[in-house]
Amino acid sequence: MTYKIVASQCTGCSACEPECPNQAISEKNGTFIIDPVKCTECIGFFDEPQCVAVCPVDDTCVIDGAYPRYSA
Amino acid sequence: MEGQVVSLASIPTPNNGKNLEEIMQQKAEHQGCGTQGGSGKASCGSGAGQGDLAPEIWEKVKNHPCYSEEAHHHYARMHVAVAPACNIQCNYCNRKYDCANESRPGVVSEKLTPEQAAKKVLAVASTIPQMTVLGIAGPGDPLANPEKTFRTFELISQTAPDIKLCLSTNGLALPDHVDTIAKYNVDHVTITINMVDADIGAEIYPWIYYKNRRYKGREAAQILTDRQLQGLEMLTERGILCKVNSVMIPGINDDHLVEVNRAVKSRGAFLHNIMPLISAPEHGTVFGLNGQRGPSAQELKALQDRCEGEMNMMRHCRQCRADAVGLLGEDRSAEFTTEAVMAMDVQYDMESRKAYQALVEQEREATAAAKRAELENLAGEYSDVKILIAVATKGSGRVNEHFGHASEFQIYEASSEGAKFVGHRRVDLYCQGGFGDEEALETVVIRAINDCTAVFVAKIGGCPKSALEAAGIDAVDRYAFEYIEQSVIAYYREYLDMIRNGDLVHNQRGDAQIRQGAYTAA
Ligand code: SF4
Ligand code: SF4
Ligand code: SF4
């Protein structure tokens, strides 16, 4: 599994981008997206997913069920 | 620009029969009474806004439109929004819009890259020679985006070293960046401090993001207040001027702000700016949605008065939107859209800016001299009558705005001690149809300045004049184009005379409303 950003909620504030330990987050048309290949759910780096912790809008960085759980 | 130089010089000088030279002469003679060395301003409490600031601080702030209430008539500041990310959540803020620290929720600022921002600053500074201060504030926290913020400062200081740099922060990341702030010669930092007690903080801040973790509640507020006060101490140790902003939230931190005032003063903040909470459901903030109200004009003034004995209060902050450009309530940001700026060929000419600013200095001296002269007429008067006067002005310290064109009014308190600026009231949104056509402008203005005895304007039509009169507000146009403070004192003297002669009975005016919404004057 990986995290994804709900585009309709993202304010484009960019707070998440520099916090991601895997540089998985980038800007696309004013909002931000997560590269599912790069996202590790922050496992191996931090106790909580950084994008979730910093995002000002609740339930915007959420688990993307379309991908299998990440394993290190 | 040439045109503006001419227009400044052609402003009529005060017509009490003195030319500028005589006034300057009078000013020089007047400097005997307690002038503080080095400041170059007479300081018998009637100077040009110095108040009780130390001379070296006054020297740094006297041309800063945000910090010197007198300078904000003559100089302009601009903000650029380069730092959209934030590291805390405030209940008065909805980050879909602007940061509420300096600007109000409800208006979206344009996001700029540091390169775009630097070019915009130079374009504005070349067009508006009064532009002397660049601030980086919201939306977001400049120190949560340190690369973008400091890159912008670096670019500007290379080309335009005469522009003062300032930034506003919530303080959480401040201790980590104090040395960089010193390195870029940032001379003013504003920290928004709404509490020094974590229990109160928990009601204002739902969470913070700190050291790769989200903290909530009391724990979050404790970290935030510790970091804010530590950052403040570190800045003042390095001689960087520090202002504190507080948002007054009735029922949550209103009484507590007296304690905040003491805490920040003892750590060296030179100015404390208490601003009203701006909160309406349509802003989508937590406070807007849960019905938390903002203070009335009277409540705000009472709290500012309580804190004033302790330190300098800043009463003229107009909570501009973050990308505002211009003088006083003016906003010329529409002339400087990113598109327009990028197409401009900007030539930064420091010399012509200096020449223009020298003229502004003459104008300021004349204003201060006129006020002192008028004060002398008041000498020997003692009265406990205090009245508030609203003034329509577009800058230069004069009554020079038409009633119907005013987007805000400056409020002065007149007493036997003289004229004191105590705040401003904005009416722009109302006139733009915010309340529908059935509500006439004068009704809207009356609500905003209902606590005032008189309103000074350059010109006013018959209808609004009688509407104001019916509400008990004297609409006065006989001071058109005169200096504001001089006129306020003169009016007050006449007012006392009328009471004495039995022509008038003084009665206390009611309260007034603080307008809710971002500053958006076009
Ligand atoms: S969960 Fe962690 S790794 Fe994945 S996008 Fe968010 S910050 Fe990056
Ligand atoms: S922190 Fe949240 S709102 Fe901000 S850019 Fe990232 S996903 Fe969007
Ligand atoms: S919001 Fe206040 S501090 Fe900022 S520019 Fe406006 S007046 Fe100055």
CA distance B71 to B66: 8
Judge contact between B368 and B26, C-beta under 8 A: no
Smallest Cα distance from B186 to chain A, Å: 24
Provide the 8-state DSSP code for B313.
Answer: B
What is the model's pLDDT at position B9? Answer: 33
Smallest Cα distance from A12 to chain B, Å: 8
Closest ligand relative to A23 C-alpha: 1
**CATH topology (fold) of B363-500:** Nucleotidyltransferase; domain 5 (3.30.420)
Ligand 2: distance of its center to the CA of B244 in Å? 28
Whether A34 is in the pocket of ligand 2, judged by its Cβ within 6 Å, is: no
Number of CB pairs, chain A paired with chain B, less than 8 A apart: 44
Whether A61 is in the pocket of ligand 2, judged by its Cβ within 6 Å, is: yes
Ligand 1: distance of its center to the CA of A31 in Å? 16
Residue nearest to atom 1 of ligand 3 (CA): B319
CA distance B300 to B297: 5
Compare all CA atoms of chain B with the CA of A57 and give the residue at the minimum distance: B95
- CB contacts, 8 Å: B213 with chain A: 46-48, 53
Between A14, A48, A53, which is nearest B85 by CB?
A: A14
Q: Is B281 exposed, middle or buried (0-12, 13-18, 19+ CB in 10 A)?
A: exposed
Closest ligand relative to A16 C-alpha: 2
Q: Which atom of ligand 2 is nearest to the CA of A11?
A: 3
What is the model's pLDDT at position B138? Answer: 66
Contact status of A27 with chain B (Cβ, < 8 Å): no
What is the model's pLDDT at position B449? Answer: 85
Between B85, B111, B212, which is nearest A15 by CB?
A: B85
Whether B166 is in the pocket of ligand 3, judged by its Cβ within 6 Å, is: no
Domain boundaries, chain B: 32-343, 363-500
Whether A5 is in the pocket of ligand 1, judged by its Cβ within 6 Å, is: no
CATH architecture of A2-64: 2-Layer Sandwich (3.30)
Contact A53 B89 (CB under 8 A): no
DSSP B214-281: EEEHHHHHHHHHHHHHHHHHHHHHTT-EEEEEEEE-TTTTTTHHHHHHHHHHHTT-SEEEEEE----G
Judge contact between B49 and B70, C-beta under 8 A: yes
Alpha-carbon torsion B203, B313, B79, B279, what sign?
positive
Between A13, A46, A47, which is nearest B84 by CB?
A: A13
Compare all CA atoms of chain A with the CA of B209 and give the residue at the minimum distance: A54
Whether A22 is in the pocket of ligand 1, judged by its Cβ within 6 Å, is: yes
- CB contacts, 8 Å: A53 with chain B: 209, 212-214
Helix B217-237, helix B256-266: angle, nearest 10:
30
Residues A6-11 have a mean pLDDT of 88
- 3-state secondary structure (DSSP) of residue B123: helix
- 3-state secondary structure (DSSP) of residue B311: coil
Q: Which residues, listed in sequence order, are joined to residue B164 by a DSSP beta bridge?
A: B133
Residue with tokens 């920040």: B264
Phi, psi of B379 (to 5 degrees): -55, 140
Contact status of A54 with chain B (Cβ, < 8 Å): yes
Residue nearest to atom 2 of ligand 2 (CA): A55
Please name the amino acid found at residue B499.
I
Between A11, A13, A50, which is nearest B212 by CB?
A: A50
pLDDT tens digits for chain B (522 residues)?
333 333 333 333 333 333 333 333 333 322 223 222 222 222 222 233 455 667 777 676 666 665 555 666 667 777 787 888 889 988 887 655 544 444 443 344 567 889 988 888 888 888 777 778 888 876 788 999 899 999 999 999 888 888 888 888 999 999 999 999 999 988 789 899 999 999 999 999 999 999 999 999 999 999 999 999 999 999 999 989 898 989 999 999 999 999 999 999 999 888 888 888 877 777 678 888 888 888 888 888 888 888 876 555 555 454 544 445 555 555 666 677 777 777 777 777 777 778 777 777 777 777 777 777 777 777 666 777 888 999 988 877 889 888 888 877 888 888 888 888 777 777 754 333 334 344 556 677 778 888 889 999 998 888 888 888 888 889 899 998 888 888 998 899 888 888 888 777 777 777 776 655 443 332
Residue nearest to atom 4 of ligand 2 (CA): A13
Cα-based distances in Å from B460 to A54, B402, B407, B431: 52, 6, 14, 16
- Choosing among 3.20.20.450, 1.10.3720.10, 3.90.420.10, 3.20.20.70, the CATH entry for B32-343 is 3.20.20.70
Whether B30 is in the pocket of ligand 3, judged by its Cβ within 6 Å, is: no
Contact status of A15 with chain B (Cβ, < 8 Å): yes
What do you get for the CA distance between the two ends of chain A, in Å? 12
Tokens of B59: 């020297």
- CB contacts, 8 Å: B95 with chain A: 11, 13, 56-57
Residue nearest to atom 6 of ligand 3 (CA): B320
Ligand 2: distance of its center to the CA of A11 in Å? 6
Closest ligand relative to A7 C-alpha: 2
The C-alpha torsion from B489 through B490 and B493 to B499, rounded to 10°, is -110
What is the model's pLDDT at position B503? Answer: 78
Taking only the tens place, the pLDDT of each residue in A14-72 is 899 999 999 999 998 878 999 999 999 999 899 999 999 999 888 999 998 888 776 65
Between B111, B139, B214, which is nearest A53 by CB?
A: B214
Q: Which of A8, A16, A35 to mutate to test the pocket of ligand 2 (most atoms within 8 A of CB)?
A: A16
Best mutation target, B212, B215, B216, B289, to test chain A (most A CBs within 10 A): B212
What is the model's pLDDT at position B107? Answer: 42
Read off the pTM.
0.69
Whether A12 is in the pocket of ligand 2, judged by its Cβ within 6 Å, is: yes
Ligand 2: distance of its center to the CA of A63 in Å? 15
Ligand 2: distance of its center to the CA of B79 in Å? 23
